[in-house]
Amino acid sequence: MGSAAKSYGIIGWREWIALPALGVHAIKAKVDTGARSSALHAFDLEHFQHNDQAMVRFQAHPIQRDDRYIVMAEAVLLEERVVRNSGGQEELRPVIETSVQIGSQLWSIELTLTNRDEMGFRMLLGRQAVRRRYLVDPGHSYLQPLPEENLPYLHP
């Protein structure tokens, strides 16, 4: 590895992450360097205005294979963007900016909202989110620890 690579952390092809601003304390994310943007499984999307600011309200099921636990969130709507999904279809998705936490690092990312009900992971972490922060080891999983305070969330 070159000297520049040594300054980056290493993550596996899937990691436990948190989206604290959205109230998601833990969600299993697939790290996908083939995808430019990140995506969160969201449903019941509602666009509204607050103080002349475009907003979006939505619900999410952050725990895989568990539709009982629901997180309700709202965020400023940055834009609506055409994104090509894994099936090659173009779809118009709301884009928000939110904080993401992996291990002890916390930073802002752009996140698209879409129905990922049929996908194996409720969260996809694209290359823009991890660029200049992490190298991805595709042969390993869960290389970064979930913060201790988030662990009880996994066993409600």
CATH class of 33-154: mainly beta
CB 28 within 8 Å of CB 153: no
Per-residue pLDDT for 124 more than 80? yes
Contacts of 51 (CB under 8 A, 6+ apart): none
What pLDDT is attached to residue 16?
Answer: 93
Find tokens 């299993």 and name the residue. 28
**Higher pLDDT pick, 151 / 37:** 37
128: phi then psi, degrees, rounded to nearest 5: -60, -35
CB 139 within 8 Å of CB 9: no
- Concatenated DSSP letters for 44-111? EEEEEEETTEEEEEEEE--STT--S--EEEEEEEEEEEEEE-TTS-EEEEEEEEEEEEETTEEEEEEE
Confidence band for 99, pLDDT divided at 50, 70 and 90: very high
22: phi then psi, degrees, rounded to nearest 5: -100, 0
Segments making up each domain of the chain, as ranges: 33-154
Nearest to 35 by CA among 93, 107, 106, 86: 86
Average pLDDT over residues 55-63: 90
What pLDDT is attached to residue 2?
Answer: 52
**Higher pLDDT pick, 78 / 83:** 78
7: phi then psi, degrees, rounded to nearest 5: -85, -10
Residue type, 83: V
User: How far, in Å, CA of 140 to CA of 137, rounded?
Assistant: 6
